[in-house]
Amino acid sequence: MNIDFTRLKVVLSSAEAKTKKAKDSAQCMSEFTAFISNYIEKCLQFTQEELAFIIISMQNWIIRKDYTYSRDEVKAGDIFFADLGIGYKPEFAYTHPVIILERIGKYVLVMPTSTSAKTVKEAYHPDDNQAGNRFFRKVGVDDGFQEECAIIISNIRTISLGRLIEKKGELNDITNADSLFIELKEKALKLCFPRQVSKYKTEYCNLEKKYNDLEEKYNKLIEK
C-alpha cells in the first residue's frame, strides 16, 4: 500500500501535532494502517534470524526509547551488549557487543563487534593476519572479550546511553600507549578525519625539521 507522505507532512506542520494523540488523528491512523500492512508484508520475506533480530530491536525500542541512562557504570574501554536498532545497509544493526571509546554526555561513541566467521577470518590482526581488512580488527578472550570476534572500525558511531543493555567486560590496560584501545582510537581518527591527520603529520614534520635546524645552529654557536 502507498503511504501518502503529503498528508503526513500536513500533520507535521499542524500546530497541535506535538500535543494531539495520534489515535485522535484520522490522517495519522489511516497512514499508520497502510504502514503496518507494508511492514507485515515485508517481514514475511525475511529469514527467521532477521525477523527475530527485528522483533528484539523493536521491543527494546518500545521499552527503552526514553531511557537516557545505563543501569551499569559506563566508562571508556568498557564492552557492552547494545541494541543498535534497525539500520540501512551497510550500517551495523540489531544487538551486538560494542566498545565504549568515549562518553559524551548522554551519548557514547562506540565501535560494534561481529562474531561472523567470515568477518573474523577477513579481519586484520597484527600477528595472525597482517594482510587482513584494516576496517576490521580481530580480537579474542585475551583482549577482554568473551569470545573471538571482529571489531567493525568503519561502523564507529554515537548512540544513546539507553541503547546499552548490559556490561560484558572491559578492554585491558587502556592507558598503555601500545594497548588495543589506543590502537582503535588512532585508527578511528585516521578513518574519520584523514585530511586532518595528514595535515597534522605534515605540520609535525615541518616543526621537527625546524627544531633540528635550530639545534644544529645552536651547536655550531656553542662550538665557537
pLDDT of residue 224: 67
10 shares its domain with 96? no
In a domain, 95, yes or no: yes
One domain, residues 127 and 165: yes
41 and 101 in a single domain? The answer is no
Distance CA 56, CA 224 (A): 78
Q: How does pLDDT run along the chain (224 residues), one tens digit per residue? A: 899 999 999 999 999 999 999 999 999 999 999 999 999 999 999 999 999 999 999 999 999 999 998 988 999 999 999 999 999 998 889 999 999 999 999 999 999 999 999 999 999 999 999 999 999 999 999 998 999 999 999 999 999 999 999 999 999 999 999 999 999 999 999 999 999 999 999 999 999 999 999 999 888 888 76
Please give the Cα distance from 117 to 214 (Å, whole number). Answer: 54
At residue 223, the pLDDT reads 78
Q: Is 169 exposed, middle or buried (0-12, 13-18, 19+ CB in 10 A)?
A: middle
Same domain, 149 and 100: yes
Domain count, the chain: 3
CA–CA distance, 145 with 169 (Å, rounded to integer): 7
Residues 11 and 106 in one domain: no
From the list 50, 184, 70, the residue with the least C-alpha distance to 82 is 70
| CA separation for the pair 191, 134 (Å, rounded) | 10
> For 56-203, where are the E strands, in sequence order?
78-83, 95-104, 107-114, 123-124, 133-139, 149-152, 157-160, 164-170
Cβ contacts of 46 within 8 Å, gap of 6 or more: 54
Residue 187 and residue 205 in one domain: no
DSSP state of 125: B
Would you say residue 53 lies in a domain?
no
Residues 78 and 150 in one domain: yes
In which domain, by residue range, is 173 found?
65-192
Indicate the pTM of the whole model. 0.87
| Residues 147 and 215 occupy one common structural domain | no
Q: Are 123 and 150 in contact (CB under 8 A)?
A: yes
**Is residue 33, in this structure, part of any structural domain at all?**
yes
DSSP 20: S
Task: Clarify whether residues 17 and 74 are in a common domain.
Answer: no
Q: Which pLDDT value is given to residue 30?
A: 94
Q: Quick one: 79 and 175 in the same domain?
A: yes
Distance, CA of 57 to CA of 96 (rounded, Å): 11
Q: Is residue 72 part of a domain?
A: yes
